[in-house]
Amino acid sequence: MRQGPTNVLLAVLLSLAATPAAAQAPALSRTSDGKPNLQGVWQVLNTAAWDIQDHAARLGVPAGQSVVVGNEIPYTPAALAKKRQNFENRATADPETKGYLPGVPRIMYMPYPFQIFQTPGQIVMVFEYDRGIRNIYTNGTQHPRGPLNWWLGDSRGRWEGDTLVVDVTYFTDETWLDRAGNFHSDALHLVERFTPSGPDHITYEVTVEDSNVFTRPWQMRMVLYRRKEPNVRVLEYDPGRLLDEAGAQRDK
């Protein structure tokens, strides 16, 4: 085609019209094996650690909007009664008050930073809270033979496009889902989905399944925010040791 001025103008206009807005966003940072690079320090900005559903403020607890999709947790009638009892006794009954590991997914939405490290076969999440470590194996291995009861479960992940999908199982029944008494049994099974929505945000969704407690699977969804301060570090908050120390001081 002759490169007259009209043709050039037409070509430019057509190419602009054909470019969708999304393609203007910066490309996702990728690791050397082509996967989305989730590495860095992340933290939630919600109140799910206190209560995963809609809640007004309580003394010491900020008001918050639900991270539960639809705001409804489909408890069996017996489990709902247990949840209410948990709520009444939460100040002492919540295992997290003893400085125990808070379980999954609760450790993901404790209000402390965590850091993600990636190698092709293993993603490691290191939590400031209680020295938590999650090893998510992306090397094609399966869950080990059970039965096993771990506080942070066993995690096996794979990529579906740009989403990291993690299957988590083998839990104890000794963790709660929040400080409001929401709980599970050792039949808890999770499927997590980590989808970057931009360079500094990950949409974190988790499907919760536990036939001993819930009548059907249900979901939580929240945003993980990248901590952007220069040289930001995951430090240490070891509640068990701090409790021991406070006790030792009291008993002096």
Residues binding other proteins (CB under 8 A): 31-33, 37, 39, 99-101, 115, 117-119, 122, 124, 126, 131-133, 135, 137, 141, 144, 150-152, 172, 174, 231, 233-236, 238, 240-241, 244-245, 247-249
Closer residue to other proteins, CB minimum distance, 18 or 248: 248
Question: For residue 44, what is the enclosing H or E element?
Answer: strand 40-44
In the bound state with other proteins, the residue whose beta carbon lies nearer, of 19 and 31, is 31
Report in angstroms how near the CB of residue 238 gets to other proteins at its nearest.
7
Cβ-in-10-Å burial (0-12, 13-18, 19+) of 186 comes to middle
Cβ closest to other proteins, residue 72 vs residue 245: 245
Beta carbons within 8 Å of 122's beta carbon, 6+ residues apart: 135, 136, 137, 138, 139
Give me the least distance between CB of 243 and other proteins, in Å please: 9
State which residue, 174 or 186, has the beta carbon closest to other proteins.
174
User: For other proteins, which is the closer residue by CB, 53 or 122?
Assistant: 122
Closest CB to other proteins among residues 84, 241: 241
Q: Which residues pair with 192 in a beta bridge?
A: 166, 206
Tell me how far, at minimum, the Cβ of 101 lies from other proteins, in Å. Answer: 6
Distance of CA 234 to the CA centre of its chain: 16
CA angle 163, 158, 200 (to 5 degrees): 35
Evaluate whether 234 touches 42 at the Cβ level (below 8 Å): no
Are 76 and 215 in contact, with CB atoms under 8 Å apart? Answer: yes
Distance CA(138)–CA(122), nearest Å, equals 5
Smallest gap, in angstroms, from Cβ of residue 149 to other proteins?
Answer: 10
In whole angstroms, how close is the CB of 41 to other proteins at the nearest point? 10
Q: Report in angstroms how near the CB of residue 9 gets to other proteins at its nearest.
A: 44
Beta 154-160 vs 163-169: how paired, if at all? antiparallel
